[in-house]
Structure 1
Amino acid sequence: MGPLPSIHVVLFLDFDGVVHKCQNESFERMHLIERLLDASPSMFIVISSSWRECGSITYLKSLFRSPYRDRVIGATPSLYLPSGSIGVRAAECEDFVTRHKVKAFICLDDDATLFPPEYPHLFRTDYYTGVNEKDLTDLIARYNVLMTRFY
């Protein structure tokens, strides 16, 4: 992965409970992620889903339609926190943020237990429904707020 453009928002993307409900692996909500990318030209995706542990970045990109694959720029590392620690997914995202000098980010995930309480970067979806139209509207609004940091 090369350097990010100077103006960017990274979306750390989970799959189960986000791009599809539960664990049905249908990617039935991927069109909403595509609409988010269409509305957010400076947004790039980093896969934070556990799917990153069993698939290459090439495979993970292939889950997106062709016009969106170049917006997938990487995956978070797998970290292991000491027993009793809270927030392994947040730690993985923040590791990527530090290593790649990410300036603004959103963690789109259904599992709040993987983040510290009141984690400000978490945008939580419902595991049983995945991302929905209201979430899409709210994510676009959050993106627009983050973009004001650059102007």
Structure 2
Amino acid sequence: MWIFLDIDGVLVPEKKFDAPVGKDDLLKFDPHCLQIFEDVLQRYPEVFVVISSSWREIFTFDSIQPLFSPSIVERVVGFTPFLDPKIIHQFQYLRHQEVLEFLRQNNALEDFWVAIDDIREHYPSDTNVVVTDAYTGFDLSSALALELFLLAA
């Protein structure tokens, strides 16, 4: 099973930017959001996490992966791929296409997956998406929605 994880609006809620943010705090997750997310993951050891976020355009995987706790870090396995810029205009749901390409590249098209994102419009209406409130990020409501998807898998 796979979780395709956005970061801004999920583990980095917009409320973080209500006050000025120092340079040293830019590459940090909200500890409350992270704890709630990881609490769900602890109950599902067969689930892997793939970063599906604009953060992959700014930061390396080696700088993002250690932001997760030691008990989870090895299950955070990579980024969704960048699609060919010559063809991306063809896709209505670019982030969804990146997920499908990751699954294709990993021979996992038949595997269960769920996305966590603060923007529902990145995915077609018939896909499994936990939509977070961008201002508050991943919260108990998001955790319940994720748990329901994982239980149904």
Calculate the TM-score normalised by the size of structure 1: 0.82
Q: Please list, as runs of the form range in 1=range in 2, the aligned pairs for 1:20-99 lying within 5 A after superposition.
A: 20-22=12-14, 24=16, 26-28=28-30, 29-79=33-83, 80=85, 81-82=88-89, 85-99=91-105
Q: 1:114 and 2:116 equivalent?
A: no
User: Among the aligned pairs, what percent are the same residue?
Assistant: 29
Report SS of the residue matched to 1:16.
coil
**Letter matched to residue 29 of structure 2:** F
Provide the aligned C-alpha RMSD in A. 1.7
Which of 122, 145, 148 is residue 152 of structure 2 equivalent to? Answer: 145
| Alignment partner, residue 6 of structure 1 | none
Calculate the TM-score normalised by the size of structure 2: 0.81
Contact 2:93–2:122, Cα closer than 8 Å, also in 1 = yes
Report SS of the residue matched to 2:115.
strand
| Alignment partner, residue 3 of structure 1 | none
Structure 2, unaligned runs of 5 or more: 17-25
Q: Tell me the alpha carbon deviations over residues 59-110 of structure 1, each in whole angstroms, 9 at most, x when there is no partner.
A: 1111112221101111101224116x42110000110011112211001001
Q: 1:123 and 2:123 equivalent?
A: no
Report SS of the residue matched to 2:71.
helix
Cα distance in 2 for residues equivalent to 1:119 and 1:47:
21
| Alignment partner, residue 105 of structure 1 | 113
State how many pairs are aligned.
Answer: 136
